A = this chain, B = another copy of it.
Amino acid sequence: MTEKLQELKTRVSAVTDLRMANAVLNWDQSTYMPAGGAVARGRQMATLSKLAHEQFTDDRVGELLTDLAAEQGLSAEDAVLVSVLQKDFDKALKVPASFLAEFSSHVAASYQAWTEARAANDFATMQPILEKNLDMSRQYAEYLGYDSQGHIADPLIDASDEGMTVAEVRPVFAALRKELVPLVKAVAEQEQIDDSCILKFFPHDKQLAFGSRVAKDFGYDFERGRLDLTYHPFCTTFSVNDVRITSRINDNDFGDCLFSILHETGHGMYEQGVSQSLEGTPLADGTSSGVHESQSRLWENIVGRSHGCWQHYYPILQESFPEEFGKVELDTFYKAINKVQPGLIRVDADELTYNLHVILRFELECQLLEGSLEIKDLPEVWHSRYESDLGVRAPSDVDGVLQDVHWYAGTIGGAFQGYTLGNILSAQFYDAAVAANPSIPTDITKGEFQTLHTWLKDNIYQHGRTLTASEVTKQASGQDLNIDPYMSYLRGKYGALYSL
């Protein structure tokens, strides 16, 4: 028995090493790789992926899992490992390798075509490619399988938010949308915030230094991580003790770099906070896309854009940027970093309107997959949905259906729901932390973040994948996914900001 468990752990550890090595190659590709390295790097990453897949789906792994599942004497932690691995193993075996290769080659070509089509505002060229992608996404979902009463998007959602289904997400998102659309409208009717104080030139190095300082204060451990610059900010994990984040700098928009850093800091703190006892296993990972995003948004928005946080940091910021902020009031700055402005672009959206961008994408994905919407009608449906939800209409598809890479470079389905699930959970977790430690809001005004960080570590981070998203939600917040804390947070904050 112990021998079999050891053999399983040894095999799975090698698979994890291959995946983490691939993450290093990917990080290098995004940060420091010279242009010439691209072709060989693609080949090297494909080889590591293939090997990791082969080694993980080896018959022997299946045998060991079956044998170990029947054992009685496993420790609780080992039993969870076996059960999570069994789920991963089953999923990995469901999709034929030949289909995966074909799909991966299609999306690589599709991604390339998209970069050109977007530059040329040419949806027509993308239409047949996207139609093929939709067909293949459906096929992918069929391979993964779903409940006969379920929705074809379910297995695609499950791939990043395990256990979630359309039946569960749709009503939650509909309820949220019902609250958000009128709130956004009410805000839009108020006097608009002047955010010119953050839209001017800020020296590159000083932006980075300030952002790093806040990340460190929040609790991101630079001894077990680092911050680099990339085109798209991200967080990546090579082990519990090497979790790296990236950001970008916009010389003329102070918020871009800082809040990208704080966002990735949240992701990074989650991964750094996983229990050391899980290191080197597939359990040392965030449990779902939604829970992961709850942490990036909690630290970026609920903490990082709070008035309390800037009561502490604003004098420090003024000292670092005396020319830029010396004569700007704290409240002017606070308003500027929380300005609501319904727009066309998801990644530029403020906290209040962001979810409307996500919800409409989620809804369109579901409709495409279920066949109630055709690709050819997508651009126009996109435009009209933006008009009804956000009151804006893109002048072209570039800022419409061509804006996000997701559908062009991966499955249609499962790509977006995590963003909004994360926002909802961020408030749910924060409220639970404050209920347990009422001093947290005051601590934050003093620049003390450890009480909050420790609560999150104890209740969420350390568990890694040993608890599912719904288990960790229930256990940490005492309730299932629930939009009330989030709406109450938004109403309180933006009601005050816009005198509603």
Copies in the complex: 2
- Let me know if A496 is at the binding interface, CB within 8 A: no
State A41–B37 Cα separation when bound (angstroms).
22
- Let me know if A48 is at the binding interface, CB within 8 A: yes
B241 and A47 within 8 A (CB):
no
Residues on B with C-beta less than 8 A from A35 are 223-224
Contact of A242 among B40, B225, B228 (CB under 8 A): B40
A21 and B48 within 8 A (CB):
yes
Contact of A51 among B32, B37, B41, B51 (CB under 8 A): B51
Residues on B with C-beta less than 8 A from A223 are 34-36
- Let me know if A24 is at the binding interface, CB within 8 A: yes
Residues on B with C-beta less than 8 A from A228 are 32
- Let me know if A165 is at the binding interface, CB within 8 A: no
- Let me know if A221 is at the binding interface, CB within 8 A: yes
B238 and A51 within 8 A (CB):
no
B224 and A34 within 8 A (CB):
yes
Contact of A44 among B21, B37, B240, B241 (CB under 8 A): B21
- In the complex, chain A residues 8-55 whose Cβ is within 8 Å of any chain B Cβ: 13-14, 17-18, 20-22, 24-25, 28, 32-37, 39-41, 43-44, 47-48, 50-51
B17 and A48 within 8 A (CB):
yes
Residues on B with C-beta less than 8 A from A225 are 34, 36
B238 and A280 within 8 A (CB):
no
State A228–B28 Cα separation when bound (angstroms).
13
A47 — nearest CB in chain B belongs to which residue? Answer: B17
A226 and B48 within 8 A (CB):
no
A36 and B241 within 8 A (CB):
yes
State A407–B209 Cα separation when bound (angstroms).
43
A37 and B238 within 8 A (CB):
yes
State A238–B34 Cα separation when bound (angstroms).
11
State A40–B47 Cα separation when bound (angstroms).
21
- Let me know if A239 is at the binding interface, CB within 8 A: yes
Assuming A40-B239, A225-B34, is B18 touching A47 (CB within 8 A)?
yes
A34 and B222 within 8 A (CB):
yes
A68 to chain B, nearest CB (A): 22
A126 to chain B, nearest CB (A): 30
Number of A interface residues at 8 Å Cβ cutoff, please give it.
Answer: 40
- Let me know if A279 is at the binding interface, CB within 8 A: yes
A242 and B14 within 8 A (CB):
no
A36 and B279 within 8 A (CB):
no
Residues on B with C-beta less than 8 A from A25 are 21, 24
State A244–B280 Cα separation when bound (angstroms).
29
State A362–B279 Cα separation when bound (angstroms).
44
Residues on B with C-beta less than 8 A from A50 are 14
Residues on B with C-beta less than 8 A from A280 are 40, 43
A465 to chain B, nearest CB (A): 17
Tell me which of A17, A41, A224, A241 has the highest count of chain B C-beta atoms within 10 A of its own C-beta.
A17
B239 and A39 within 8 A (CB):
yes
Residues on B with C-beta less than 8 A from A244 are 34
State A225–B39 Cα separation when bound (angstroms).
14
State A34–B48 Cα separation when bound (angstroms).
23
State A182–B242 Cα separation when bound (angstroms).
54
Residues on B with C-beta less than 8 A from A47 are 13-14, 17-18, 21
Residues on B with C-beta less than 8 A from A48 are 17-18, 21
State A358–B238 Cα separation when bound (angstroms).
39
State A37–B33 Cα separation when bound (angstroms).
20
State A20–B46 Cα separation when bound (angstroms).
13
State A25–B44 Cα separation when bound (angstroms).
13
A15 to chain B, nearest CB (A): 9
State A21–B44 Cα separation when bound (angstroms).
7
Assuming A21-B25, A21-B44, A40-B20, is B238 touching A32 (CB within 8 A)?
no
Residues on B with C-beta less than 8 A from A21 are 21-22, 25, 44, 47-48
Tell me which of A28, A33, A48, A280 has the highest count of chain B C-beta atoms within 10 A of its own C-beta.
A28
State A98–B50 Cα separation when bound (angstroms).
27
Contact of A238 among B13, B17, B41, B279 (CB under 8 A): B41
State A32–B244 Cα separation when bound (angstroms).
10
Residues on B with C-beta less than 8 A from A279 are 40
State A125–B98 Cα separation when bound (angstroms).
58
State A47–B34 Cα separation when bound (angstroms).
26
State A420–B25 Cα separation when bound (angstroms).
35
A43 — nearest CB in chain B belongs to which residue? Answer: B17
A10 to chain B, nearest CB (A): 10
Beyond the given A24-B44, A37-B224, please list 11 additional residue pairs across the A-B interface where CB-CB is below 8 A.
A18-B48, A24-B28, A34-B224, A34-B244, A35-B223, A36-B239, A37-B238, A37-B239, A39-B239, A40-B239, A41-B242
User: Which 3 pairs between the two chains have the least Cβ-Cβ distance?
Assistant: A37-B242, A40-B239, A36-B224
